[in-house]
Amino acid sequence: MSVDDGAWERALDEMLGLVTVAAHDASVEGARAIKHETQGLLVQLQHAPHTKTPSLPGMPPAMISGRLAASIEVGEYDGDVAVGPTSEASSYNGPYPRIQELGGPSTGHPHMHWFQDGRWYTRNFRELLPRPFLEPATRAVIDSGELHQIYYDHWLRAITAVTR
């Protein structure tokens, strides 16, 4: 009895290629799921311009215009898949999305102001507390099992294609 090592090697090479493509495709689909979850978090609370935000520190920022939610995109950079805000889509110049997510020193907007009860209020602040939106969205997609299922489905299709 002889075994054709060449056929076995070709099958393994084909499987490796298909699983690699499947992993990339699963990463894109997973990033899209995170994008969808993030955009949902960013439109939960809303408020009008020049009104005090109803978003407490630690909660996602409250929506005024929807530009931050609209800026959440999926992209590929040097072979990696990424999801997050893009300055082109959001029309924000500078660190607005990052400072909302992580908090930090406020440099470009030293005075917050809002109109309430017929009066203008202002607050001088130097440190913005975090209002994360990407991290909780990512955690929700992982904790729900959705990301696991996406990878499982893609890899199963790839492996099944070779073993039929």
- CA 46 to chain CA centroid, nearest Å: 20
Query: Tokens 């409250």 identify what position?
Result: 62
pLDDT of 28 over the 90 cut: yes
Range of the domain at 69: 5-163
pLDDT of 89 over the 50 cut: no
pLDDT of 107 over the 80 cut: no
pLDDT of 103 over the 80 cut: yes
Residue 153's CB is within 10 A of a number of other CB atoms, namely: 14
pLDDT of 124 over the 60 cut: yes
Distance CA 48, CA 160 (A): 52
pTM of the complete model: 0.82
User: What mean pLDDT, rounded, does the chain reach?
Assistant: 86
Domains: count for the chain: 1
Please choose, from the candidates 113, 142, 160, 127, the residue with its C-alpha nearest in 3D space to the C-alpha of residue 33: 142
**Where does the pLDDT of residue 5 fall: very low under 50, low under 70, confident under 90, or very high at 90 and above?**
confident
- Alpha-carbon distances, residue 146 vs 24, 28, 137, 139 (angstroms): 16, 13, 12, 11
Q: Please, where are the H alpha helices in the chain?
A: 5-42, 67-70, 87-90, 96-102, 134-143, 146-163
**Where does the pLDDT of residue 88 fall: very low under 50, low under 70, confident under 90, or very high at 90 and above?**
low
Average pLDDT over residues 71-81: 90
